[in-house]
């Protein structure tokens, strides 16, 4: 397995395979992708009820393609998310409970290892979330809980009511979209956009409170704007540095992009979205690659961020 992290009974690879883009793949290709990821040391698989166009479609595709023996099942971590609906967001008890049952049926599994609240529902009544989590936990349907795209204040509000630890916050993060890291580096500067606080301190909060950050879209330029690797129009300098380091470490460029995230001492995880096994294997090499401080900051500056 690649470098791991752990929460109680979970041993988790630092690299996660996200299944958001598998809708139109052949069943055999999904099976090969998952088997290849396992061979590459990845034991963590990320889903959501909304992935795939129609509800639970990607979970269904995964469930059709992949099955685990009881002992294999103990060694993998299956995560899904709840809370997004067509045109509104919903953290009501009823919606959480119904959705998890649907996800388990689609995945053909008895339990989820981790359930995340997908994006903050401002109409949340945290007592309802707490009730749903208690029922899911007591029924053995969900073992661990977390959030995605939540601010520290939103996490604290949930924590005031929820009985289980919130162990994960999954957020958008790549070298080219790193405001949660870049802001702290430029704290207290006048006239610098980078110094504007946009997330009320997710990075420091997560480290202080033992929440693991999971980086989604680790290769995307923006919000699904295409990958920055090889994109010389927008990121020529960054690609020069990535290519130089890739040659130096004798790894593919994907590994350098992954390593930039896993090198951070917050011990974040990287959620890959590729449907190509070769890219999964290339990316997984980054988890064990300890970039030096100087190399890490060089990549950061080449992506356009400043050290004021």
Min dist CB 272 to ligand NAP, Å, is 5
Output the CA–CA distances (angstroms, integers) from residue 153 to 122, 171, 268, 269, in the order listed: 12, 15, 20, 22
Which phi and psi (to 5°) does residue 143 adopt?
Answer: -95, -35
Q: Is 2 in the site for ligand NAP (CB under 6 A)?
A: no
Q: Is 281 in the site for ligand NAP (CB under 6 A)?
A: no
Min dist CB 187 to ligand NAP, Å, is 26
Q: Is 219 in the site for ligand NAP (CB under 6 A)?
A: yes
Show the binding pattern over residues 123-162: x = contacts ligand NAP (CB under 6 A), - = does not. Answer: -------------------------xx-------------
Interface positions, 199-218, toward ligand NAP (CB under 6 A): 216-218
Min dist CB 129 to ligand NAP, Å, is 17
Question: 265: burial class by Cβ within 10 Å (0-12, 13-18, 19+)?
Answer: exposed
Q: Which residues contact 44 (CB under 8 A, 6 or more apart)?
A: 12, 13, 15, 16, 17, 76, 77, 79, 269
Residue with tokens 């294997």: 281
Q: Is 167 in the site for ligand NAP (CB under 6 A)?
A: no
Of residues 131 and 227, the one with the C-beta less far from ligand NAP? 227
Residue pair 255/15 in contact by the 8 Å Cβ criterion: no
Stretch that binds ligand NAP, among 19-27, 28-36, 63-71, 234-242 (CB under 6 A): 19-27
Min dist CB 197 to ligand NAP, Å, is 20
Residue 186: how many other CB atoms lie within 10 Å = 16
Of residues 131 and 253, the one with the C-beta less far from ligand NAP? 253
b (16+ CB within 10 A) / e for 48-82? bbbbbeebbbbbbbbbebbeeeeeeeeebbbbbbb
Q: Tell which one of 227, 287, 291, 303 touches ligand NAP (CB under 6 A).
A: 227
Q: Residue of minimal CB distance from ligand NAP? A: 273
Min dist CB 211 to ligand NAP, Å, is 14
Q: Is 276 in the site for ligand NAP (CB under 6 A)?
A: yes
Residue ranges of alpha helices (H) inside 46-189 are: 57-65, 70-75, 93-107, 126-138, 152-161, 179-185
Q: Is 275 in the site for ligand NAP (CB under 6 A)?
A: yes
Planar angle of CA 48, 50, 56, nearest 5 degrees:
80
Whether 51 is catalytic is yes
Active site residues: 51
Contacts to ligand NAP by CB under 6 A: 18-21, 46, 148-149, 170, 216-220, 224, 227, 229, 254, 271-276, 279
């Amino acid at each position: 397995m690649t470098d791991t992290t752990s929460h109680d009974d979970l041993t988790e690879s630092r690299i996660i395979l996200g299944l958001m883009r598998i809708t139109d793949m052949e069943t055999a290709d999904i099976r090969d992708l998952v088997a290849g990821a396992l061979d590459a040391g990845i034991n963590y698989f990320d889903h959501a009820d909304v992935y795939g166009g129609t509800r639970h479609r990607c979970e269904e595709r995964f469930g059709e393609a992949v099955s685990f023996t009881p002992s294999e099942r103990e060694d993998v971590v299956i995560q899904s998310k709840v809370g997004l609906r067509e045109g509104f967001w919903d953290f009501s008890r009823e919606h959480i409970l119904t959705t998890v049952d649907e996800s388990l049926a689609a995945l053909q599994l008895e339990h989820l290892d981790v359930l995340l609240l997908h994006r903050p529902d401002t109409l949340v009544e945290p007592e309802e979330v707490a009730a749903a989590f208690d029922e899911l936990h007591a029924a053995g349907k969900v073992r661990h809980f977390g959030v995605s795209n939540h601010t520290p204040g939103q996490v604290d509000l949930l924590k005031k009511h929820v009985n289980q630890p919130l162990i994960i916050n999954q957020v958008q993060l790549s070298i080219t979209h790193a405001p949660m890291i870049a802001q702290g580096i430029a704290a207290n500067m006048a006239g610098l956009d980078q110094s504007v606080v946009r997330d009320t301190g997710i990075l420091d909060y997560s480290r202080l409170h033992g929440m693991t950050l999971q980086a989604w879209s680790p290769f995307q330029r923006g919000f699904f704007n295409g990958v920055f690797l090889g994109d010389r129009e927008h990121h020529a300098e960054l690609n020069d540095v990535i290519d130089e380091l890739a040659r130096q470490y004798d790894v593919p460029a994907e590994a350098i992009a992954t390593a930039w995230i896993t090198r951070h001492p917050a011990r974040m995880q990287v959620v890959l979205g590729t449907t190509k096994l070769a890219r999964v294997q290339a990316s997984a090499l980054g988890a064990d690659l300890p970039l030096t401080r100087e190399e890490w900051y060089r990549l950061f500056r080449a992506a356009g961020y400043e050290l004021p």
